[in-house]
Amino acid sequence: MIRVVAVGAAWLAISVGGMFALESYKAKPGEPGAAPETWPSASAISRANDVPTLVLFAHPRCPCTSASLTELEKIGARLGRTIAIRVLFIAPAGTPSGWQKSDLWTKAARIPGADVFTDEGSGEAARFGSVTSGQVALYSAAGTRLFQGGITSSRGHEGDNLGANHVISLVTTEGASNATTPVFGCPLLTPGSEPR
């Protein structure tokens, strides 16, 4: 009987510890990036000059990024033609051809009004200071940064969140808060690496 109780207690401790570790991981933001205050002049990505432009950087194998793309789709549906959306999937040097064209690419390509690009060698991510998948930068039509950060409230979590609300508010009211929120995603990694 004592052995059954001990095994049960050990199982319970492992289960609770595992749930705690998972919740802790989901709530831990990725490394913060530092998007430049103005649109990088060396960028090959076009910026709209009549509406704000949102750029989202993504790792094509990051499971957390699916939620970011769902939130981006909601932003696009809400704002329509009052925002330009660019999604860039990294393809670090040395990755095989087509490596970046995952299910996440397909999901991003289905977002109305979104232009989806390959970031060959991750040069654009570097120009925009993006280090975590799902990181967003919003720039005004004049090229001034209005927002940087994430558009989910935790890793892989869809639903109401401060980042998406900031983006919508900044575009609809033409505000200039230069807000920042945490990014919940995988690191934009080296060739062949898989997200943790």
Q: State residue 25's pLDDT score.
A: 41
pLDDT at res. 136: 96
36 and 23 co-located in one domain: no
d(CA 3, CA 7): 6
Domain that holds residue 5: 1-30
Q: Does 38 lie in the same domain as 122? A: yes
Residues 24 and 74 in one domain: no
Whether residue 111 is found in the same domain as residue 139: yes
Give me the number of domains the chain comprises: 2
Are 11 and 36 found together in one domain? no
Q: What is the pLDDT along the chain (196 residues), one digit of tens a residue?
A: 666 555 554 444 444 344 333 344 445 656 778 899 999 999 999 999 999 999 999 999 999 999 999 999 999 999 999 999 999 999 988 889 999 999 999 999 999 999 999 999 999 999 999 999 999 999 999 999 999 999 998 867 788 888 899 899 999 986 666 778 888 888 885 444 444 3
Is 192 within a domain?
A: no
Cα–Cα distance between 139 and 52 in angstroms, integer?
Answer: 5
Are residues 55 and 22 part of one domain? no
